Amino acid sequence: MEKKNIDWSNLGFGYQVTDKRYVSNYKNGAWDDGVLTDEATITLSECAGVLQYAQTCFEGLKAYTTEDGRTVCFRPDLNASRMKDSCERLEMPVFPEDRFVEAVKAVVHANEAYVPPYGSGATLYIRPYMFGSSPVIGVKPAEEYQFRMFCTPVGPYFKGGAKPITIRVSDYDRAAPHGTGHIKAGLNYAMSLYQIVDAHEKGFDENMYLDAGSRTYVEETGGANFIFITKDGKMVTPKSDSILPSITRRSLMVVAEKYLGMTVEHRQVRFDELGDFAECGLCGTAAVISPVGKINDHGREICFPSGMDEMGPVTKKLYDTLTGIQMGRIEAPEGWIVEID
């Protein structure tokens, strides 16, 4: 397969149109067969449920070229299952999980020329999403839906790649207790835009959100979960009903324990214990593992001993092992790597 002429190593995390995307429509209580299409534009009713009441959710996963030249993706079954949870919470019809995984394979296969080469530092980001497409004016779920999936080659989410970033504690909340923080609803991201623009204007890379109920515990950032490393080498990661259950974080818990022999604690993390940690990182599909060097709490800085120059040593081991599994250099646990044929 001849690859597209793209400057892979200099890609940022942006959208570019690729050749094919998958579309399936839900009408009269059933999903149609679904097709791959060249059409990248959507025409919708002015009163579509997504436009009036934000009835939409999405997923994100990646495809990789392995060291031995195969094209693979990482744990797509978990994205299918998390999308099911999102749909159920938003009164949307579930797209069958087996068909979701088949659609991932079809989209990547049809856009194989855009899967970045091994070693380029880039990957193919796959974006499945669903929205209410029929008109809704009283507040209620739409009757018709569209499920779509496109892909786009991407580089690092944070400029500078593996360089430690600086985040600040947000004064606004991301997710209410008993709200929608645990699902991937578009509305969770709409309400974070003000904070991210403000953070960037003030020179910060991301926002740290605390629990909205007591502002005592660490939750997550706008697009990634946290991992912390203690001074004696344990991995600690926040537990809360209002954070998104990151697939990367769940995978790292296994990597830390089973591959690196570390102790893993998944528990509430108090904001006032952050100064005790040796390393901090953000983890997610887009973020992979991005080291955090500093957290700014209204002018007071929490500086991790790993510093602002490079990833801390334990974070680096986690990063190397996870990406080694994703790129086929290290044997993966059963079912984690799905080949695109």
Q: Show which residues are catalytic.
A: 184
Six-digit token pair at 313? 């040593």
Q: Which stretch binds ligand COI (CB under 6 A): 27-35, 196-204, 283-291, 309-317?
A: 283-291
The partner in contact with residue 111, picked from ligand PLP, ligand COI, none with C-beta cut-offs of 5 to 8 angstroms by kind, is none
Should residue 123 be labelled a site residue for ligand PLP when binding is judged by CB under 6 A? no
Nearest to 156 by CA among 13, 332, 304, 331: 13
- Binding pattern to ligand COI, positions 30-69, x when CB under 6 A? ------------------------------x---------
Should residue 60 be labelled a site residue for ligand PLP when binding is judged by CB under 6 A? yes
Should residue 146 be labelled a site residue for ligand COI when binding is judged by CB under 6 A? no
Should residue 223 be labelled a site residue for ligand COI when binding is judged by CB under 6 A? yes
Should residue 326 be labelled a site residue for ligand COI when binding is judged by CB under 6 A? no
For the segment 271-290, give every residue that binds ligand PLP (CB under 6 A).
284-285
Residues 253 and 299: their CA atoms lie apart, in Å, by: 32
Beta bridge partners of 31: 26
Phi, psi of 322, rounded to the nearest 5 degrees: -60, -50
Q: Is the separation of the CB atoms in 184 and 57 below 8 Å?
A: yes
Location of structure tokens 């344990």: 234
User: What minimum distance in Å lies between the beta carbon of 218 and ligand PLP?
Assistant: 13
Q: Is the separation of the CB atoms in 239 and 279 below 8 Å?
A: no
Residues 315 and 163: their CA atoms lie apart, in Å, by: 12
User: What minimum distance in Å lies between the beta carbon of 318 and ligand PLP?
Assistant: 13
Nearest to 242 by CA among 215, 263, 264, 273: 215
User: What minimum distance in Å lies between the beta carbon of 223 and ligand PLP?
Assistant: 4
Q: Which of 205, 206, 219, 220 binds ligand PLP (CB under 6 A)?
A: 220
| H or E, element range at 320 | helix 313-326
Location of structure tokens 């890379």: 205
DSSP per-residue codes, 96-114: PHHHHHHHHHHHHHHTGGG
Sign of the Cα pseudo-torsion (63, 44, 80, 99, in order): negative
User: What minimum distance in Å lies between the beta carbon of 203 and ligand PLP?
Assistant: 22
Output 60 or 245, the one with its CB closest to ligand COI: 60
Should residue 285 be labelled a site residue for ligand COI when binding is judged by CB under 6 A? yes
Should residue 237 be labelled a site residue for ligand PLP when binding is judged by CB under 6 A? no
Q: Which of 50, 286, 314, 318 binds ligand COI (CB under 6 A)?
A: 286
DSSP per-residue codes, 207-254: EEPBPTTTS-BB---SS-EEEEEETTS-EEEE--TTS---HHHHHHHH
Output 224 or 327, the one with its CB closest to ligand COI: 224
Output 172 or 268, the one with its CB closest to ligand COI: 172
Output 134 or 180, the one with its CB closest to ligand PLP: 180
Should residue 128 be labelled a site residue for ligand COI when binding is judged by CB under 6 A? no
Closest residue to ligand PLP: CB criterion: 284
In order of 110, 226, 234, 335, the CA distances from 266 in angstroms are 39, 11, 11, 23
User: What minimum distance in Å lies between the beta carbon of 198 and ligand PLP?
Assistant: 18
User: What minimum distance in Å lies between the beta carbon of 309 and ligand PLP?
Assistant: 25
Residues that bind ligand COI (CB under 6 A): 60, 223, 284-286
